[in-house]
A = this chain, B = another copy of it.
Amino acid sequence: MKGLENKNFIPNLSFDCVIFGFNGKLLKILILEYQNTGVYALPGGFIEIDQSIDDAAKQGVKERTGLDNVYLDQFYIFGNVDRADPGHMKRILTANNDNTEENSWMLERFNTVGYYALINYEEVTPTPDEYSDSIGWYAIDELPKLMMDHNNIVEKALQVLRSNLSEKLIGMNLLPSKFTMKQLQMVFEAVLDQKLRRTTFQRKMLSLDILERHEKLFQGKAHKAPYQYSFK
């Protein structure tokens, strides 16, 4: 099966990534569709026996997005017995004409380590994996029904992201290296799913002393041009 069966994986353990991107308006995540199945899923994979879980996830994100050096945070391990769903897996395998004998290990119970990544939407080249024929961005409030407990994983990732956003100020990982105050505010609003006050937000961000101010950005619009900022 395209290389998978040759590798030596840690049994019963996988990882799944909630890869967040921001298109300027909406918070989105990358979703795979498995070939000929109508099954949607988070990008994920298995961990080789001589590979750290973090490295496996890092590699997975790189393969799906083409990006290195991504903000990547392990946020939970999903270890319920009933999260396994051999039915779905079997459909994916048979749709791929796989020897289900040899790959029966994929039908067993799996615990999965959840990661979330924050990436610059514009830099990404979404790339399907060997089982899937499509990968695409979905706004977080327009997700399809995902396989197994993946919708639950997304929900938990969002919770953690929201509580980390202000505290750890990780929002800028969703933006290009230079951005305007308005863009930064829109990221916060999209993640927190609430409107923020422009003046208060601006004062707060500036007072934190974490931003460097650069030249103005002339957008060709009939109004004052905003400064650009970067993370110090």
Interface residues of A (CB under 8 A from B): 10-13, 47, 49-54, 74, 76-77, 79-81, 109, 111, 113, 163, 167
Q: List 9 A-B pairs, minimum CB-CB distance, nearest first.
A: A53-B79, A77-B77, A52-B80, A52-B81, A11-B11, A10-B12, A52-B79, A77-B113, A50-B81
Specify the chain B residue showing the minimal Cβ separation from A110.
B10
| A–B complex contacts, Cβ < 8 Å, 20 sampled | A10-B11, A10-B12, A10-B111, A11-B12, A13-B111, A47-B79, A49-B109, A50-B81, A51-B81, A52-B79, A52-B80, A52-B81, A53-B77, A53-B79, A54-B79, A74-B79, A77-B77, A77-B113, A79-B113, A163-B167
A113–B76 alpha-carbon span in the complex (Å): 9
Complex interface: chain B residues within 8 A of A81 (CB): 50-52
A159 to chain B, nearest CB (A): 12
Q: Quickly give the copy total for this chain.
A: 2
A16 to chain B, nearest CB (A): 13
Complex interface: chain B residues within 8 A of A52 (CB): 79-81
A10–B111 alpha-carbon span in the complex (Å): 10
A74–B11 alpha-carbon span in the complex (Å): 21
Complex interface: chain B residues within 8 A of A13 (CB): 12-13, 111
A178 to chain B, nearest CB (A): 30
A167–B163 alpha-carbon span in the complex (Å): 10
Specify the chain B residue showing the minimal Cβ separation from A75.
B76
Complex interface: chain B residues within 8 A of A74 (CB): 76-77, 79
- Among A11, A54, A111, max chain B CB count under 10 A is at A111
